[in-house]
Structure 1
Amino acid sequence: MWMVATFIVVASSFVRLVGEGKDLVGVLFGSIFLWVIIGVMPVVVAKVAWRFVS
């Protein structure tokens, strides 16, 4: 669920920054990087840790 919430927050920030005239490509890569770190990495870390413990 936090992945969806993080995506919504990052997408709204993306729209706001592009609307203010920031570079589209830079903001897009930054948004994707931020979403991967906050939204996806905890799942990956948990799966790897679970395999290590099991």
Structure 2
Amino acid sequence: MLTEGGARVWAICLRCDARGGRSLRGGWWMVISWIALPILALAAAVALLEWLTRR
């Protein structure tokens, strides 16, 4: 059983919690960066390998 002040009933990122939960924009940007940055890094690695093998 949840008691008042004992637990939060929603999950938000720490940055959103610091702002009082007014906006989840920072949390969404964090999620996008966790997905997009590795994909971009892999694409850059593939492009570099392709360029090196054509030489």
Q: TM-score range by the shorter chain?
A: 0.3 to 0.5
- Whose radius of gyration is greater, 1 or 2? 2
Instruction: Specify which structure has the higher proportion of helix.
Output: 1
With normalisation by structure 1, the TM-score equals 0.47
With normalisation by structure 2, the TM-score equals 0.47
Larger relative contact order (Cα-Cα within 8 Å, sequence gap ≥ 6): 1
